[in-house]
């Protein structure tokens, strides 16, 4: 990991017999799961355990399928729904198998909580890839509020979940390439010490989280950048949302 160096820039920067039903209703499945149809009460011996593995498998499979579908379809057409549907089918089959095991019941409940967090992260990333295709197809730029609250330099819990999923995606993809984590902060004055501090500490925090999730430190580099205008403007969002942003730049492809 290289020592940070602040850059100043003016440049703006979704069993097999029910496959059809699942494909058509994958969004309903996710909505019901998030609404609490699968409860987090303490597991007990007996019938209470039925289908919890199925539900958890469907949740994980649908979320991963949605992210893949969004990437493959470039956020347009049926890719997200189809990806989520097939992911849910595969997940339900795998999950149903775990229902047969008494020994896994308590672990299923713990795992379900974990997969709810992961599903949230996958939903965020699926939406990110849709927006990326529309407004910045060649760059992987995220509004900083996905990872940080307000002007905090400590990553929020939901942001940690998203970074964990990003790490999973990048751990074996181009495993020898380097990743630059660029952190942008807008300031009226280009020599703003606070903006320098904010961008520098957020870049470090993001890199540290990736390392904790399994990315080798030698692959990572921080790049704090102070800008005088938003890195980009999403016409369908708050025009100032990208005043603070995080960009993942893959080099050595």
Sign of CA dihedral 159, 164, 165, 169: positive
Would you give the DSSP letter of residue 44? -
Per-residue pLDDT of the chain (253 residues; tens, 9 = 90+): 555 555 555 444 433 333 344 334 444 434 433 333 333 344 434 444 444 455 555 555 655 555 655 555 444 344 444 455 545 555 655 565 455 566 677 777 778 888 888 889 999 999 999 988 888 899 999 999 999 999 999 999 999 999 999 998 887 777 778 999 999 999 988 788 999 999 999 999 999 999 999 999 999 999 999 999 999 999 889 999 999 999 999 987 6
Measured CA angle at 112 (ends 110, 117), to 5 deg:
105
What radius of gyration do the chain's Cα atoms show?
A: 20
- The class (CATH top level) of 139-251 is alpha beta
Domain boundaries, the chain: 16-134, 139-251
Whole-number Å distance between alpha carbons of 137 and 109: 39
Number of alpha helices (DSSP H) and beta strands (DSSP E) in the chain: 6, 5
Say if strands 7-9 and 140-143 run parallel, antiparallel, or are unpaired. Answer: unpaired
- Which residue has tokens 């290289």? 2
pTM flag (> 0.75): no
Say if strands 178-186 and 220-227 run parallel, antiparallel, or are unpaired. Answer: parallel
Q: Is 101 helix (H, G, I), strand (E, B) or coil?
A: coil
CB half-sphere exposure, 196, CA atoms < 13 A: 10
Ranges assigned E (strand) in the chain: 7-9, 140-143, 178-186, 220-227, 244-251
């Amino acid at each position: 990991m290289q020592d940070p160096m602040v850059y100043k820039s003016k440049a703006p920067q979704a069993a097999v017999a029910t496959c059809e039903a699942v494909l058509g209703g994958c969004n309903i499945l996710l909505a019901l799961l998030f609404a609490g149809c699968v409860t987090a009460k303490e597991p007990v011996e007996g019938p209470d355990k039925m289908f919890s593995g199925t539900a958890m498998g469907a949740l994980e499979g649908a979320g991963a399928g949605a992210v893949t579908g969004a990437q493959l379809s470039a956020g347009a057409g049926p890719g997200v729904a189809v990806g989520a549907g097939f992911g849910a089918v595969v997940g339900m089959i795998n999950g149903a198998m775990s229902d047969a095991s008494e020994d896994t019941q308590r672990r299923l409940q713990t795992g379900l909580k974990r997969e709810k967090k992961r599903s949230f992260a996958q939903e965020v990333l699926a939406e990110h890839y849709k927006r990326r295709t529309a407004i910045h197809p060649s760059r992987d730029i995220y509004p900083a509020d996905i990872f940080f609250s307000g002007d905090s330099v400590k990553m929020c819990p939901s942001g940690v979940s998203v970074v964990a999923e990003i790490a999973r995606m990048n751990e074996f993809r181009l495993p020898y390439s380097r990743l630059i984590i660029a952190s942008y902060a807008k300031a009226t004055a280009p020599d703003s010490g606070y903006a320098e501090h904010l961008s520098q500490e957020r870049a470090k925090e993001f890199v540290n989280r990736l390392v904790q999730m399994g990315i080798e430190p030698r692959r990572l580099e921080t790049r704090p950048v102070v800008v005088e205008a938003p890195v980009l403007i999403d016409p369908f969002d708050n025009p100032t949302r990208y005043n603070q942003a995080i960009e993942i730049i893959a080099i050595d492809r």
